[in-house]
Amino acid sequence: MGILEKMRLDGKAAFVTGGARGIGKSIATALAEAGADVAIVDLDIEEAQRTAEELRVLGRQAIAVKTDVTSPADVGAMMEEIIASFGKLDIAFCNAGICINAPASEMTYEQWSKVIDINLSGVFLTAQAAGKQMLKQGHGGSIITTASMSAHIVNIPQPQCSYNASKAGVIQLTKSLAVEWAEQGIRVNSISPGYIGTELILNSPALTSLIEQWNAMSPMRRMGRPDELQAIAVYLAGDASSFATGGDFIIDGAFTCV
């Protein structure tokens, strides 16, 4: 099998959490373009349905599933709906996340807990559900989590200790799951994006001055684009990456190098 064939995802079924917009939507689109059927998992069900409809235009099966990734009951129902629609699960992209910028001395416990619950516990619950289904199926699979360059550095000037801690936890969780499930053929990897110019970020007037500072600190002098994460996700999802597990792949325009 040639390398291009190994990059294809024909016949595979995937879910993407936080898939309605931004990075999640970009990855979901890439998986569908590579041949996978995709479940768009998001709290915003209306936007998720619009994204799923766009993927169906590509000729793939696509469904929208409303899910609170911090709720074990919701995640269980999510998996039931995905299996009912696709009959199996081969790829999981555990991506849903938030950031709250607040100084550590002023951050409330509720703010801390919300970030940790979504970014870390939500990744655990959805990756666990995917892993259990893949173990049941008995033919392996690929789980990809979204960490961040913020797991490797402390971002400035914005204060975001809860986000940084949650993303560092995602990387260690990813490695732990990779080791536990390696013999069963379930590969688990994380991607660590740098600053990515999603529509939400680029259209926020409150972030204009921050974006200018981030770009000034970046060796490439710009933010990344959501589509610049697509190739690594497709690679990790398919057979081309059959020996890649427990890895963290930094895509940040060399931001963490300086």
Which active-site residues does the annotation give?
148, 163, 167
Contacts with 103 (C-beta within 8 Å, 6 or more apart), sequence order: 159
Name the amino acid, one letter, at 246: G
- State both tokens at 119: 């970014």
How many CB atoms are located within 10 Å of the residue 130 CB?
29
Triad 207, 19, 71: Cα angle to 5°: 100
Cα gap 22→148, rounded to integer Å = 15
- State both tokens at 76: 């269980």
Query: Is 79 in contact with 56 (CB distance < 8 Å)?
Result: no
How many CB atoms are located within 10 Å of the residue 30 CB?
23
- State both tokens at 208: 């204009």
- State both tokens at 133: 């289904």
